[in-house]
């Protein structure tokens, strides 16, 4: 083990167990997944230049300005020019050891949903998942995995879930927030049926490449609008999942809302409850106030913390109306840890314990 | 058909039964209060025409059957339980009881009972009482305060009932005065 591991970033804040609900990993190069890919698709990948570009254009770095801290925290950039988050030893040294992490849920986004070739996309998703299982999950018992899926083909998505969903370390499916259709639509029933069958968490995460503009009212001019505006996609997906009755169809389903913030939630819950009173006849399967379904079925990572000063944060936390909805996450390698210290400072003790480990342990644990 | 002196109840003829077909309704004004009288499968029900939520003319809303579901795509529709949907926000109230089905902890609409009487009975009554029609009518005394807006402390509550009586040909709303 490296002798230069930094002191715990949680020193003075938290001394108990830590479960990290959102850690990114990426293949160091597309060739890294070739052992898990049929020859025909290897040639496809090489012909099409998949994964070429600065660092690794199809990994966690591709939707954000490459040099911004939100893309990769400065001290988490490998010195040797390799893509960030692509090395288990680095993950161990930079996150798992310093934070004292007992369990971390890893996601490998890798832009599979950008691929439109249905067979190529499915093969690439399988290769990434097999690479993750073999080289991360089975190499470090603290890690739990999220399945990347061929996002444009719900039947193929379900097939991939069935292929690997029984692996004891696979605990989640990765659902890019920007999907081709709202996830509550019946188009996706095979996906959620498979997730429920294997007891997997459904992880709604920033990213995705739908056919339309990134906002419902067209293309924004500036990057900030697209990035900050992604919050509205989380609203839309949560509303769809509730209104379409997915939670009545599959009562065991749990959703993790990752890298989406959470302080926007109280207002949305209030609005849904208010409108439900008059519009519930349209959706008679929603037989309870929607906020109660959110509180029962959705959990939220706290990276980023989209919060104001601590006195405001405390009020907003109180408005969540439940003490078990938040999950600690580093969002490695993104620099989304700012605000965590203030958040920890305002949380009641039970909420803090739930956030640091209990909620995620219940959700992802064995 | 006469005023009960102890109750100081006044009976208002609001319609002939034939004026309100099955599924139909009239809205009458009695002593300044707008009241909807409904014929639901031959039963007459009356409700104050004011939604306890925010004052909408409730009795102009749609009369719909009960609709429940355990799972998307599966519908349990019961046309025997009729709900009145507020035209402003769509909240539903049981036409028979005034019970709210959108926010049952907080909202109940006042239910008036109706009655019917024969023409001859009414002729006797007319000599002694006022007879309401949708245009001109009066009532002695005041209605009790409506319970809307009051957070209920325990449930289930029943709305105050004002009988709708049907005596042969006429629909009658007796209102008690104080």
Q: How is chain A split into domains, by residue range? A: 24-364
Distance CA A80, CA A146 (A): 28
- Note the pLDDT of residue A7: 77
Q: If you measure CA to CA, which chain A residue comes closest to B91?
A: A278
pLDDT score for A358: 98
Separation in Å, CA of B39 to nearest CA in chain A: 23
With vertex at residue B119, the alpha carbon angle to CA B118 and CA B122, rounded to the nearest 5 degrees, is 90
Strands laid side by side in the B111-112 sheet: B25-30, B33-40, B43-48, B111-112
CA dihedral A317, A320, A326, A332 (to 10 degrees): -70
Tell which wins on pLDDT, A116 or B138. A116
Question: What is the separation, in whole angstroms, between the first and last Cα of chain B?
Answer: 19
Residue B104 distance to chain A (closest CA, Å):
10
Site of tokens 């390799």 = A82
Whether residue B72 and residue A279 make contact (CB cut-off 8 A), yes or no, is no
Do A164 and A132 meet the contact criterion of CB atoms below 8 Å apart? no
C-alpha distance from B103 to closest chain A C-alpha (Å): 7
pLDDT at A15: 93
pLDDT bin (cut points 50, 70, 90) of residue B133 is: very low
pLDDT of residue A36: 98
Position B59 confidence tier, pLDDT thresholds 50, 70, 90: very high
Share of chain B above pLDDT 70, in %: 64
For B90-106, what is each residue's pLDDT tens digit? 888 888 888 877 665 56
Encode burial over A89-105: b for 16+ CB neighbours within 10 A, e otherwise: ebbbbbbbebbebbbbb
Superfamily for the B9-68+76-176 domain:
Rieske [2Fe-2S] iron-sulphur domain (2.102.10.10)
Contact B72 A281 (CB under 8 A): no
Rounded mean pLDDT, B124-131 = 49
Q: Which residues of chain A have pLDDT under 50?
A: 1-2, 54-61
Is residue A271 within 8 angstroms of chain B, CB to CB?
no
Between A189-203, B8-22, B138-152, the lowest mean confidence (pLDDT) is in B138-152
Q: Which residue has the tokens 């230049």?
A: A49
Class of A24-364 in CATH = alpha beta
Which of B56, B72, B103 is the best residue to mutate to test the A interface, defined by the most A CB atoms within 10 Å of its own CB? B72
Nearest to B91 among A246, A278, A287 (CB): A278
CB contact under 8 A, B71 and A245: yes
> For A248, which residue in chain B has the nearest alpha carbon?
B71
**pLDDT at B162 (0 to 100):** 59
Q: Where are the domains of chain B?
A: 9-68+76-176
pLDDT tens per residue across span B76-87: 999 988 999 989
Which pLDDT score, from 0 to 100, does residue B131 have? 42
Q: Supply the mean pLDDT for chain B.
A: 73
| Contacts across the A-B interface (CB distance below 8 Å) | 41
């Amino acid at each position: 083990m490296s002798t230069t591991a930094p002191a715990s970033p949680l020193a003075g804040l938290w001394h108990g167990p830590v479960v990290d609900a959102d850690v990114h990993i990426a293949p160091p190069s597309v060739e890294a997944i070739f052992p898990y890919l049929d020859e025909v698709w290897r040639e496809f990948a090489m012909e099409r230049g998949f994964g070429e570009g600065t660092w690794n254009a199809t990994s966690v770095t591709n939707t954000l300005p490459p040099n911004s801290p939100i893309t990769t925290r400065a001290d988490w950039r490998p010195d040797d020019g390799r893509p960030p988050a692509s090395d288990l030893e680095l993950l161990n040294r930079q996150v798992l050891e310093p934070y004292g992490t007992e369990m971390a849920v890893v996601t490998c986004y890798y832009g599979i949903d950008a691929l439109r070739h249905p067979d190529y996309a499915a093969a690439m998703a399988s290769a990434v998942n097999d690479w993750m299982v073999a080289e991360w999950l089975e190499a470090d018992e603290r890690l739990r995995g999220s399945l990347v899926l061929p996002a444009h083909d719900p039947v193929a998505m379900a097939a991939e879930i069935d292929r690997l969903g029984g692996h004891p370390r696979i605990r989640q499916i990765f659902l890019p927030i920007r999907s081709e259709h709202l996830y509550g639509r019946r188009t996706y029933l095979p996906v959620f049926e498979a997730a429920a069958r294997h007891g997997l968490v459904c992880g709604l995460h920033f990213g995705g490449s739908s056919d339309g503009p990134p906002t419902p009212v067209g293309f924004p001019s500036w990057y900030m609008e697209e990035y900050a505006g992604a919050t509205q996609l989380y609203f839309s997906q949560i509303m769809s999942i509730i209104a379409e009755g997915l939670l009545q169809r599959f009562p065991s389903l749990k959703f993790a809302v990752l890298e989406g913030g959470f302080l926007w939630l109280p207002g949305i819950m209030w609005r849904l409850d208010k409108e439900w009173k008059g519009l519930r006849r349209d959706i008679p399967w929603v037989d309870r106030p929607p906020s109660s379904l959110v509180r029962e079925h959705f959990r939220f990572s706290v990276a980023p913390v989209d919060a104001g000063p601590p006195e405001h944060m405390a009020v907003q936390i109180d408005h969540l109306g439940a003490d078990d909805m938040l999950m600690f996450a580093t969002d490695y390698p993104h620099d989304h840890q700012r605000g965590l210290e203030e958040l920890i400072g305002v949380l009641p003790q039970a909420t803090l314990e739930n956030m640091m480990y209990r909620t995620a342990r219940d959700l992802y644990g064995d | 058909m006469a005023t009960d002196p102890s109750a100081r109840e006044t009976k208002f003829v609001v319609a002939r039964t034939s004026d309100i077909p099955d599924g139909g309704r009239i809205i009458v004004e009695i002593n300044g209060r707008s009241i909807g009288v409904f014929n639901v499968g031959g039963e007459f029900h009356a409700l104050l025409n004011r939604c306890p939520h925010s004052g909408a003319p409730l009795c102009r809303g749609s009369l719909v059957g009960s609709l429940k579901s355990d799972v998307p795509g599966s519908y349990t529709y019961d046309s025997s339980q009729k709900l009145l949907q507020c035209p402003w926000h769509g909240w539903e109230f049981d036409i028979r009881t005034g019970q709210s089905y959108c926010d049952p902890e907080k909202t109940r609409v006042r239910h008036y009972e109706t009655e019917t009487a024969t023409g001859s009975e009414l002729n006797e009554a007319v000599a002694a009482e006022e007879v309401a029609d949708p245009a001109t009518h009066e009532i002695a005394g005041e209605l009790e305060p409506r319970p809307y807006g009051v957070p209920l402390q325990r449930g289930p509550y029943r709305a105050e009932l004002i009988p709708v009586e049907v005596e042969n040909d006429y629909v009658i709303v007796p209102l008690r005065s104080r």
